[in-house]
């Protein structure tokens, strides 16, 4: 019977950076989506200070819920740096803005890829948010 194999995970076609989070552990997906929304808000010139605070807050939660790993730490630092570049984009040429958006998308993809292999921290386990 077609579609009766429930053990096979169906993959959605990738439509954007948000879909990359679908392979991350469940407790981290909402945080990745929040980071992505905040980065998109930065690119749309939303309130820069509050939006960067939201980016840092979600990234801090990700760091608290995952075991310390150099790959995750580097990916988080890349997202912060990309967010700060986007926040500083007011009045710059469109090519510079496009490059900053591309860097942010790559940083988000790098973070999502790093989180696929992440293990829950002791804090996550004690809060019942492990995977």
Q: What residue spans define the domains of the chain?
A: 24-124
Whether the Cβ atoms of residue 101 and residue 82 lie closer than 8 Å to each other: no
**96: confidence class by pLDDT, cuts 50, 70, 90:** confident
Whether the Cβ atoms of residue 55 and residue 83 lie closer than 8 Å to each other: yes
Share of the chain above pLDDT 90, in %: 52
Segment 45-91, tens digit of pLDDT:
778 999 999 999 999 999 999 998 999 999 999 999 999 999 888 76
> Which CATH number is associated with domain 24-124?
1.20.120.330
pLDDT value for 21: 47
Mean pLDDT of the chain: 82
**27: confidence class by pLDDT, cuts 50, 70, 90:** confident
DSSP-H helix ranges across 2-47: 26-43
């Amino acid at each position: 019977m077609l579609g009766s194999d429930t053990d096979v995970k169906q993959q959605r076609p990738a439509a954007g950076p948000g879909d990359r989070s679908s392979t991350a552990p469940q407790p981290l997906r909402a945080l990745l989506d929040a980071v992505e929304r905040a980065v998109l808000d930065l690119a749309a010139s939303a309130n820069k200070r509050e939006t960067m605070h939201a980016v840092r807050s979600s990234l801090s939660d990700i760091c608290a819920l995952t075991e310390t790993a150099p790959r995750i730490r580097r990916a988080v630092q890349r997202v912060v740096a990309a967010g700060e570049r986007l926040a500083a984009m007011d009045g710059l040429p469109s090519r510079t803005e496009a490059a900053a958006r591309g860097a942010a998308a790559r940083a988000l993809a790098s973070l999502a890829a790093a989180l696929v292999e992440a293990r829950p921290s002791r804090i996550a386990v004690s809060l019942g948010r492990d995977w």
